[in-house]
Amino acid sequence: MSESTIEMLAELSNSAMYAATVVYALAMLMHVVEWAQARGLPADVDVSTPTPALVSAGSADATAQTPDPWTDEPRSPTSDDVERTDKFGRIGLSLTVLALLLHTAGVVTRGLAAQRVPWGSMYEFAITGSLAVAVAYVVLVRGYRIRWLGLPVTGFLLTVLGLAVIVLYRPVAPLVPALHSYWLVIHVSAAAIAGGALTVGALASVLYLLRSRLEAKAAAAPEMPRTGFLWRTPSATDIDRLAYRAHAFAFPLWTFAVLAGAIWAEYAWGRFWGWDPKEVWAFITWVAYAAYLHARATSGWQGRGAAYVALAGYATFLFNFLGINLLGSGLHAYSGM
């Protein structure tokens, strides 16, 4: 491949990543408006399935006064409010899909420009790992109707891509000799897919904590108005179940990634395990999620405690990616930024 072609593909990748970042920002904005619009809607209407009438005649909620989402003036919600809220949610999801296509194009052209898999630096793993998050979200929206995760997911994607293109970016460069192995594809792809599912699980856990706190407040004060987007989401139990399923899917993949890394280490450095900082923190992440899943499977341990353990596991995952590369050293330091 000629030098001019490589430069052209690299520029295309950069342009696609910039465009994806902007579109994710627009998608997040639409979900922010969706949350704001839902502020005045009661809890018994699903904004993802608009109905001809908000409440049936004679319902106890038919005359309920809820605050206008913009002026706080008390008024009765209508079916138009539901449709308007749903419209912004649909626009946000459509923009997320568009950003996903641009994101995919950016990752693919980066790989073509580098003439290898685009996983050789923190920048490349950031754009690939965040792509896995976007794909996981869109797939789950189609299969499990989790559009209510749109705001935290797009916020996360915007943050990661923003940091990637502004802070972590590095020009296309050849791999160091230690990375010239088919184990790069096996090890990093498993870690990226697992990371995507773990991110969805972590975001669901955060939303679960917010929803469970809201339900606890409502139980203590039955007269509390049940309006707002959090009341549009599934129950805390259902959100917790989604988080558990995401973690249960990701854990075997993370286990495989750790094992594949150990096998690769034997080929590259002559030992399976050397207590390198990244190896240690990958194992700590594994232990944290093993504890979470074991407690859920054997003791039926659910609730806030389990969610906090899952979030602690995700914190170790993030530290393994960011903290070790920026603050630590070791045999993995070749990937640098």
- Give the model's pLDDT for residue 337: 55
Average pLDDT estimate for 173-197 = 84
Asked if residue 119 and residue 233 are part of one domain, the reply reads no
Which carries the bigger pLDDT value, residue 253 or residue 53? Answer: 253
More confident residue, 270 or 27: 27
pLDDT tens-digit readout, 72-112: 554 556 666 778 888 999 999 999 999 999 999 999 999 99
Residue 209: Cβ within 10 Å count: 18
Q: Are 265 and 158 found together in one domain?
A: no
Flag the least confident range among 96-105, 239-248, 258-267.
258-267
* Span 9-17, average pLDDT: 95
Interval 112-155: pLDDT, tens? 998 888 888 889 989 999 999 999 999 999 888 889 999 999 99
> 170 and 187, same structural domain?
no
Q: Which of 315, 337, 319 is nearest to 278 (CA)?
A: 319
Residue 289 and residue 239: Cα distance in Å, rounded?
18
Proportion of the chain above pLDDT 70, given as a percent: 84
List the domain range (segments joined by +) for residue 8: 1-174
193 and 325 together in one domain: yes
Q: Are residues 165 and 42 in the same domain?
A: yes
Last-in-domain residue among 174, 196, 225: 174
Question: Domain boundary at 174, 201, 225, which?
Answer: 174
What mean pLDDT value characterizes the chain? 83
Asked if residue 192 and residue 152 are part of one domain, the reply reads: no
Residue 269 vs residue 294, higher pLDDT: 294
- In this structure, the answer to whether residues 128 and 210 fall within a common structural domain is no
Please give, one letter per residue, the 3-state secondary structure of 200-245: HHHHHHHHHHHHHHHHHHHHHCCCCCCECHHHHCCCHHHHHHHHHH
Write out pLDDT tens, residues 20-66.
Answer: 999 999 999 999 999 888 877 776 544 444 433 333 323 334 334 55
Give the domain-ending residue among 119, 145, 174. 174
What integer pLDDT is reported at residue 101 of this predicted model? 97
Look at residue 330 in the predicted model and tell me its pLDDT. 54
Q: Are residues 9 and 112 in the same domain?
A: yes
Q: Are residues 211 and 232 in the same domain?
A: yes
Structural domains counted in the chain: 2
Same domain, 320 and 283: yes
Across the range 257-269, mean pLDDT stands at: 86
Same domain for 259 and 120: no
The rounded distance, in Å, linking the Cα atoms of 93 and 108 is 22
